[in-house]
Structure 1
């Protein structure tokens, strides 16, 4: 059973007000703090979202006799490449809102968001949920485009083709697109509307996840990942042109600027 270690000093004295409200912060002693909202009882441990004030983490263990805490520590060790003695609970060991402190010289605060840059194929189940509601068929958006590409970009072999910055984009855009398709399914009345609205969401999700910067260094990874026949449809081309307008034709789309 993982027991909270006695904090070194008082957290409130080490963190300024702004940092105290952040999901990821650094204290005056150089430790990294993670403010976590734990969701035990999940099928698999993974980061669901990194918000401004908390990191939502699904935990693949029940909240009984410290099992969820053990699994959370094990997950953070694997995701961030840390040793057990480099992690400690500062508070919240017995609640769902927790603060975990990281004391190591092998990790910087800028690298922590990459915790979400691992394959999360379970997120792709959302497309099957939408398909069951609308029955668009094997050539419809939920299965043919949404699910298929979601699984491609949540294959660890594909993710490993990207740099850390690129992997962060993949995780961010996946979560954004999944959230969007679920929202779209709430108000749509037909498969055609699902497809139209879903393609529109690609533009916002890509831009909000910094595609214009990421594409400058990730061209080869994208080229090796996409099925380019997907871009033969009018709806997909509209999506591409919208992104090009925002990023600039000579920004990241110069073919020979690898």
Structure 2
């Protein structure tokens, strides 16, 4: 059901050319330097503490920002690029009146491409361990978390098998599963 909603939600902006600006003035500006974009969007949307912005994105963004200096240089680049990508994916929602459900669906639809395109598949095992330490078991096993990470893992394995990547945890996982290690 979430896939259908996400597909429909992603197609609606392509069909609709109208944008009703939020009544709250100002612009929410994506930046890899901070997590303030989510606070700005929450101020416009009114989704509150249970909305994607304050209930998921901001706490996670702040948590990984706090440990980002402990990531490898590759991990720091991935995090910075991913943070900016995830915020850029919600620029329309920051500009036009959007329901809390649509913000949530559009945000989660952006996670897989943002993670993959920013180099998640090539993170080191140490960086991956820190990342999943923050996400936690509940974040991985929730319906949305399981769908997200299953898709990410499958895409990473496909990228390795297609010789698009040759490093990081994906290489280790595939070699291990193949009995090469």
Q: Per the shorter chain, which TM-score range?
A: 0.5 to 0.7
The Cα of 1:187 is off from its aligned counterpart by 4.8
* Residue 132 (structure 1) aligned to one of 37, 43, 47: 43
Instruction: Find out whether 1:207 has 2:116 as its counterpart.
Output: yes
The residue aligned with 1:183 is: 92
Tell whether 2:60 aligns with 1:141: no
Which fold has the larger relative contact order, with Cα–Cα distance below 8 Å and residues 6 or more apart in sequence? 2
| Cα gap change, 1:248 to 1:124, in 2 (>3 Å) | same
Cα root mean square deviation, aligned: 2.5
Q: Is the contact between residue 126 and residue 182 of structure 1 (CA under 8 Å) also seen in structure 2?
A: no
Q: Distance in 2 between matches of 1:231 and 1:184?
A: 26
Residue of structure 2 in register with 1:251 after alignment: 170
Pair 224,234 (structure 1): closer, same or farther in 2 beyond 3 Å:
closer
Counterpart in the other structure of 2:16: none
Aligned-partner SS, 2:50: coil
Distance, in Å, in 1 between the alignment partners of 2:93 and 2:124 is 27
Per-residue CA shift, 1:43-78, capped at 9, x if unaligned?
xxxxx57xxxxxxxxxxxxxxxxxxxxxxxxxxxxx
**Rg bigger for which structure?**
1
**Is the 1:130–1:142 Cα contact (8 Å) retained in structure 2?**
yes
Report Cα offsets for 1:70-92 as digits up to 9, x if no partner: xxxxxxxxxxxxxxxxxxxxxxx
SS of equivalent to 1:172: helix
CA distance in 2, matches of 1:150, 1:240: 17
Distance in 1 (alpha carbons) for counterparts of 2:157 and 2:62: 29
Relative distance call for 1:239 and 1:185 in structure 2 (3 A) is: farther
Question: Residues of 2 paired with 1:138 and 1:208: CA distance?
Answer: 29
Q: Partners of 1:168 and 1:174 in 2: how far apart?
A: 10
TM-score by length of 2: 0.64
Q: Which residue of 2 aligns with 1:15?
A: none
Question: Which blocks of at least 5 consecutive residues in structure 1 are unaligned?
Answer: 1-47, 50-119
- Establish whether residue 153 from structure 1 lines up as the match of residue 77 from structure 2: no
Query: Which consecutive segments of 4 or more residues in structure 1 shift more than 6 A?
Result: none
Whose helix fraction is larger, Structure 1's or Structure 2's? 2
